Structure 1
Amino acid sequence: MRLIDYFDRGADLYPDRDCLHDGTQGWTYREVRAQTHRVANGLLALGLGRGSKAAVYSPNHAAAYACLLGIVRAGVTWAPVNARNALEENLYILNNTDVEVLFYHSSFEGYLARIREACPRITGFICIDTPSFEEWLAVQKEEAPDLPDAPDDVAFLASSGGTTGRPKGVQITNGNIETMNSIFWACMPVKSPPVHLMVAPMTHAAGVCSFPLLAFGGTNIFMGTADPGGILAAIEKHKVTHVYMPPTLIYMLLAHPDVGRYDYSSLQHLVYASAPMSVDKLVEAVKVFGPVLTQTYGQAEACMICTFFSPEDHVAALESNNRHRLASCGKVSPLVRLEVMDDHGKLLPRGQRGEIVVRGNLVMKGYYNNVEATAEASAFGWHHTGDIGVIDEEGFVYIVDRKKDMIISGGFNVFPGEVEQVLWSHPAVQDCAVIGIPDEKWGEAVKAVVELKPGMTVEADELIQLAKDKLGGVKAPKSVDFVDTLPRSPVGKVLKKTLREPYWVGHERKI
């Protein structure tokens, strides 16, 4: 099936149900379907077709999502552009993915001159939130061609996180999406039309989470900003059933003074992913939001659900005195093969650490126009995630750390995530990041960079001692820096590369 087919199923079954809602106004499946046909025909009239690329430069917005659907209806590849990125990064992405038509929100009108200058391939610019958009739609044909099934065609051209270098174009096919949706339905069966709160950028995991819900008449509620108090209120107001959030945003919700004020009983799945989550804060979240916490593990190259940790698994871990299991990301999903591999391509037995590798129809077609990077990521016939992990005897998968984040101190391997879990347990710590900095004696010394909860204080020595007590002297931070806010990517990941850079200036190596 093509991505648009899931939407069309929802439109067939629930034509008068809201598909999109901006918090005050809703648009039904019938209305959105008509708009997607006109968007598709508009693109075809501009000469775009199979293999062409179009992007939407917009904050989370109902019209932006409708344009996304119109792009894929035309058989054109959608190139997601995160509105929270810096302009220069988005210029690189637009060029790297060969975008020809750009739909944009009027808030980015001031960027157009720079985009035109830097991205000469883009020949069409269409503003989505002014009367000119409705005028453009009005002159397009009402019915777009019904294109044949094309499982190997690229539905969207995502960009990798870029936290360790320039983003790469990740080719996600219709077949990849079909596999991802199938896993979603197997793990999170949809029994009635859901309500999905689009808090995180629709260009990333939140958008991917919305695709399988379309087939069941899902309503997508759009929030332009990730305001913690607004999110809490929206869950109650709209009776939200599904929401995706990175752990950093969940921490903000838990720290909000109004967190105990609202009713969250409508929630079925509060999905968290993208980064490890503090076990202590996870326990707190279960108490606040109920048994709805749901973890998935994946990446741009292997959509979203390589592993699955269900709400029931969370509860069982707490009730069976297996609290440590909350540090896992669940068990391998159906339709995915996931193993742990050493540097020589040997699959390792349960209990041994190595790089997590995956294969199956969830894995991307390859990196766009980057044969070398594709070959490197596909060594030994498996997709290499770059994550160090271990699988226990019960089949639970634990992400130990990013391979490139590992610290080598005095010849010992220190995995930052292990240290971060301990620091997160301190009641004053909102978030933290552990990095390696140059040290003449040890090669690298362990440093913690800590963001405190509002109004809270703690001494560095207290945190260092906490880590020593839990992990021993080798893994404990040698120093602690306190910052008002940790640097984060537009999707909420802490940028350890940014934290490390000042300490490694003048050094030949960066690890």
Structure 2
Amino acid sequence: PGFRAYAELSAGQPATAPAERIAGQVMNYTSGTTGRPKGVRRALAPFDPDTVASLYGMFLAMFGIGPRGDNVHLTGSPLYHTAVLLFTASSFHFGHTVVLMDRWMPEGCLECIQRYRVTTTHMVPTQFHRLLALPDAVKVRFDLSSLRHVIHAAAPCPVDVKRRMLEWWGPVIYEYYAASEGGGTLVTPEEWLRHPGTVGRAWPGSEVRVLDDAANTCPPRQPGTVYMALGVQDFEYHGDRKKTEANRRDGFFTVGDVGYLDEEGYLFLCDRKTDMIISGGVNIYPAEVESVLLTHPAVADAAVFGIPDDDWGEQVKAVIEPAPGAEPGAALATDLLEFCTARLAKYKCPRTIDFVAAMPRDPNGKLYKRKLRDPYWQGRERVI
């Protein structure tokens, strides 16, 4: 029901393909976690529609995924997310089986992997954290041996979280860094174990630069703004020429992330520039503090950001979603503050901790940090 037969649709149509066909172009939208989603518009590419499948195949091939008949891709996030759509569509073009979850739940994910013999899936670090929080008795019930490529991105992944996932699932976890605008970098599990915390090196056809505020190239291990090459196809933000021009520099674009390259060209991300805390003139990267908090067994999710401080300009605030069974309140806050003090420099530690029942994340796991931060800045001007 709801479908028409192919024979009905093709009846009376010419037997040959129309002349001068082009494949068209998709206008993906950014996630909107730092503002309104922006349409990423590219010019129509002069590709024959019959070649599209091979182009999609080139993307999957970067991760070592080929057109095998037994490949099964698990889609656990909404298809309006650029990466989720791209991996799902690429799998379809390769003729792979695709399993669509109605709603991603950690135990349900393991059930799907076992039931459908899933070989590939795309995930985000929040999903890793929730999988790791499952009781050991639940984890051991499922056969995950079919997995060959678990690919993740979209948010910083704490080193401890990824290391534990690799210990559990084996060397099948690949990571990349990119944006709806383009990209990017990728890292294999073997490379990551040699360079813990990296998001990889520039993938074929891409180039990455790290620049300071004066547009000078930063030396190895010095943080700056991360820029990526525009590639063969330029883009513009739909209906926003000013924003398009603001993120460009000499054929490169940035989404505002701060990071550094090591001596071998591996990229390490510090944080989003707009999320960076400046307290007493010192830069503090929230992702580092969040990574520590997420190792505490009473923490299901964590967000760290700057709030106004009359003396220091900003102070470090942490908002915590307690793990099931953990009781929010003064006792847990004290425990978490002491936990941070033992693992972080004093100036990086949260001054205060608040609790929420659920963190405001989009269905793909990206955190709407502004929804947490903005109330603290109401009536104040953020000067950084």
Answer yes or no: same fold by TM over 0.5.
yes
1:410 matched to 2:280: yes
Q: Take 2:45 and 2:357, find their aligned partners in 1: how far apart are those partners? A: 43
Instruction: Return the alpha-carbon distance in structure 2 between the equivalents of residues 493 and 137 of structure 1.
Output: 40
Question: Are residues 1:286 and 2:162 paired?
Answer: no
Does the 8 Å CA contact 2:57/2:66 hold for their aligned counterparts? no
> Is the partner of 1:421 in helix, strand or coil?
helix
The sequence identity of aligned pairs, in percent, is 36
Match of 1:72 in 2: none
- Summarize the Cα distance change of 1:180–1:340 in structure 2 as closer, same or farther, 3 Å threshold: farther
Cα–Cα, structure 1 residues 357 and 242, in superposed 2: closer, same or farther, change >3 Å?
same
Is the CA contact (8 Å cut-off) linking 1:294 and 1:310 kept in structure 2?
yes
- SS of aligned partner of 1:481: strand
Q: Compute the TM-score of the two structures, normalised by the length of structure 1.
A: 0.67
Match of 2:343 among 470, 482, 487: 470
| Structure 1 equivalent of residue 307 of structure 2 | 437
Q: Which amino acid aligns with 1:203?
A: Y
The answer on 1:273 being equivalent to 2:153 is: yes
Measure, in 2, the Cα distance between the counterparts of 1:341 and 1:282: 28
TM-score by length of 2: 0.87
1:389-408 aligned at under 5 Å gives the runs: 389-408=259-278
Q: 1:310 aligns with which of 184, 188, 198?
A: 188
Rounded Cα–Cα distance in structure 2 between residues aligned with 1:510 and 1:220: 47
Q: Please list the CA deviations of residues 276-326 of structure 1 after superposition, one character each: whole Å capped at 9, or x if unmatched.
A: 1122221221222222111111111115xx111112224x43xxxxxxx33
Corresponding position of 1:218: 96
Give the alignment's Cα RMSD to 1 decimal: 2.6
Correspondences of 1:95-494 after superposition (within 5 Å): 131=1, 133-134=2-3, 140-141=9-10, 145=17, 148=20, 150=22, 153=24, 155-172=25-42, 181-190=57-66, 192-193=68-69, 194-204=71-81, 205-257=83-135, 258-302=138-182, 306-314=184-192, 316-317=193-194, 325-361=195-231, 364-456=234-326, 459-494=332-367
SS of match in other structure, 1:448: strand
Relative to structure 1, is the Cα distance of residues 165 and 138 closer, same or farther in structure 2, using a 3 angstrom cutoff? farther
Aligned length: 368
- Asked if 1 retains the 8 angstrom alpha-carbon contact of 2:67 and 2:96, the reply is no
What is the distance in 2 between the residues matched to 1:174 and 1:256? 46
Kindly tell me: are residues 223 and 328 of structure 1, through their superposed partners in 2, closer, same or farther at Cα, counting changes over 3 Å? Answer: same
CA distance in 2, matches of 1:262, 1:268: 16
TM-aligned CA distance change 1:135 to 1:192, over 3 Å: closer
Give the structure 2 partner of residue 5 of structure 1. none
| 8 Å CA contact retained: 1:297, 1:307 | yes
> Is 2:77–2:363's contact at 8 Å kept on the other side of the alignment?
no
SS of 2:62's equivalent? helix
User: Residue 501 of structure 1: CA displacement?
Assistant: 1.3
Q: 2:379 corresponds to which residue?
A: 506
Describe the SS at the equivalent of 1:507: coil
SS at match of 2:208: strand
Q: Secondary structure at the match of 2:95?
A: coil
The residue type equivalent to 2:375 in the other structure is P
Given that 1:302 and 1:364 are in contact with CA atoms closer than 8 Å, whether structure 2 keeps it comes out as no
Distance 1:363 1:180 in 2: 15
> Structure 1 residues 183 and 408, CA, compared in 2 at 3 Å: closer, same or farther?
same
1:240 deviation in Å? Answer: 0.4
> Are the counterparts in 2 of residues 196 and 210 from structure 1 also a CA contact under 8 Å?
yes
In 1, Cα distance between the equivalents of 2:57 and 2:211? 27
Q: Which amino acid letter does the alignment assign opposite residue 100 of structure 2? A: F
Aligned counterparts of 1:432 and 1:362: Cα–Cα separation in 2: 38
Map 1:24-63 onto structure 2 (within 5 A): none
Q: Give the C-alpha shift of residue 180 in structure 1.
A: 6.9
- CA–CA separation in structure 1 for the residues paired with 2:87 and 2:235: 20
Give the match for residue 61 of structure 1: none
Change (3 A) 1:288 1:438: same
Aligned counterparts of 1:203 and 1:298: Cα–Cα separation in 2: 16
Shift of 1:361: 2.5
State how far apart, in whole Å, the 2-side matches of 1:148 and 1:232 are.
46
1:109-143: per-residue Cα shift (whole Å, max 9, x none)?
A: xxxxxxxxxxxxxxxxxxxxxx4x32598863366
Structure 2: distance between partners of 1:260 and 1:362: 46
Q: Which has the higher helix share?
A: 1
**For 1:180 and 1:298, how far apart are their aligned partners in 2?**
16
Q: Determine if contact 1:271/1:296 at 8 Å carries over to the other structure.
A: yes
Query: 3-state SS of the aligned residue for 1:161?
Result: coil
Residues 170 and 364 in structure 1, CA contact (< 8 A), matched pair in contact too:
no
Return the offset for 1:345. 2.1
Instruction: Mark the runs of 5 or more structure 2 residues left unpaired by the alignment.
Output: none
Helix, strand or coil at the partner of 1:427: coil
Residue 332 and residue 134 in structure 1: after superposition, are their counterparts in 2 closer, same or farther (change >3 A)?
Answer: same
CA contact (8 A) 2:294 2:301 kept: yes
Cα separation, partners in 2 of 1:409 and 1:310, compared to 1, 3 Å: same
Structure 1 range deviating more: 134-143 or 195-204 = 134-143
Describe the SS at the equivalent of 1:295.
strand
Question: Deviation at 1:275?
Answer: 0.4
Partner Cα distance (2:109, 2:243) in 1: 39
Cα separation, 2, equivalents of 1:447 and 1:286? 31
Paired position in structure 2 for 1:38: none
